[in-house]
């Protein structure tokens, strides 16, 4: 039996490996599971616990302690059937939170239908973020839900040198500047009196279409 862990990550490919190692870096106890002996051996010194097993095998998952974790991440993508079965096993065991990677809308719909608490689309989401960064002034663009977004962007020249209240970003563009970062500095909370310059970076939130429009201002 494995000792109690905070997370179990099933599938240690590129996405699963990055997620598992990121969790460990954040001080979390992680059980890594993969059917590949080569991947298991590779992660022996990277994760606290690594098990060679079939994530869709109910008995095997019980034996590795999956029923005691708080969150399961189903990181497999290319084998859609295995992904769905692994998610189903985690739900049957009673894992409180089951997140799963999907590679297609159909795949994601099935995962949601069987009860996955959150479905993520890494390739699609990253592609969307890159597209927004390529167009306009957005440095990063994250959809927080289907209609709401957050963007890291530079200051439009038309409002440079003005305080946020004077610039009227909220009243004119219906988005909110949450934080401002000066060159070489860190993000600090924005106030109505905060003066923004063309070299500053802004963290902006609002309806996705309006945030996108703001990042395209000249």
pTM to 2 decimals? Answer: 0.75
Mean pLDDT of 3-15: 87
The domain limits of the chain are 7-120, 125-215
Superfamily of domain 125-215: Regulator of K+ conductance, C-terminal domain (3.30.70.1450)
Task: Give the pLDDT score at 77.
Answer: 74
- 8 Å CB contact between 141 and 132: yes
Helix (H, G, I), strand (E, B) or coil at 214: helix
Long-range contacts of residues 143-148, Cβ cutoff 8 Å, at least 24 apart: 143/208, 144/205, 146/208, 147/207, 147/208, 148/205, 148/206, 148/207, 148/208
Q: Is the pLDDT of residue 160 over 90?
A: yes
Q: Is the pLDDT of residue 3 over 60?
A: no
Q: Report pLDDT digits (tens) over 42-72.
A: 999 888 789 999 999 999 999 999 999 999 9
Q: Report pLDDT digits (tens) over 125-159.
A: 888 888 877 888 889 998 888 899 999 999 999 89
Task: Give the pLDDT score at 20.
Answer: 94
Task: Give the pLDDT score at 2.
Answer: 43
The Cα 47–Cα 31 span in angstroms is 7
Q: Report pLDDT digits (tens) over 17-45.
A: 999 999 999 999 999 999 999 999 999 98
Task: Give the pLDDT score at 1.
Answer: 40
Phi, psi of 32 (to 5 degrees): -100, 135
The residue to which tokens 């994601």 are assigned: 108
4: confidence class by pLDDT, cuts 50, 70, 90: low
Q: Express the helix, strand and coil content of the chain in percent, nearest 5 each.
A: 40, 25, 35
Mean confidence (pLDDT) of the chain: 91
The Cα 156–Cα 197 span in angstroms is 9
CATH topology classification for 7-120: Rossmann fold (3.40.50)
The Cα 130–Cα 124 span in angstroms is 10
Task: Give the pLDDT score at 70.
Answer: 93
């Amino acid at each position: 039996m494995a000792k109690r862990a905070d997370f179990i990550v099933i599938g240690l490919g590129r996405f699963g490996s990055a997620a598992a190692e990121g969790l460990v870096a954040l001080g979390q106890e992680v059980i890594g599971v993969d059917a590949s002996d080569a991947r298991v051996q590779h992660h022996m010194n990277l994760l606290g616990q690594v098990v060679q097993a079939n994530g869709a095998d109910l008995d095997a998952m019980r034996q590795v302690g999956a029923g005691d974790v708080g969150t399961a991440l189903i990181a497999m993508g290319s084998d859609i059937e295995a992904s769905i079965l692994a998610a189903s096993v985690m739900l049957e065991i009673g894992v409180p939170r089951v997140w799963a990677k999907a590679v297609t809308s159909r795949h994601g719909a099935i995962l949601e239908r069987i009860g996955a608490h959150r479905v993520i689309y890494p390739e699609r989401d990253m592609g969307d973020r890159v597209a927004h960064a390529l167009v306009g002034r957005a440095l990063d663009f994250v959809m927080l839900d289907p209609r709401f977004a957050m963007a890291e962007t530079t200051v439009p020249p038309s409002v440079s040198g003005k305080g946020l209240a004077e610039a009227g970003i909220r009243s004119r563009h219906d988005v909110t500047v949450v934080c401002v970062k000066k060159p070489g500095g860190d993000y600090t909370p924005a106030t109505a009196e905060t003066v923004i310059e063309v070299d500053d970076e802004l963290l902006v939130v609002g309806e996705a279409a309006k945030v996108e429009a703001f990042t395209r201002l000249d």
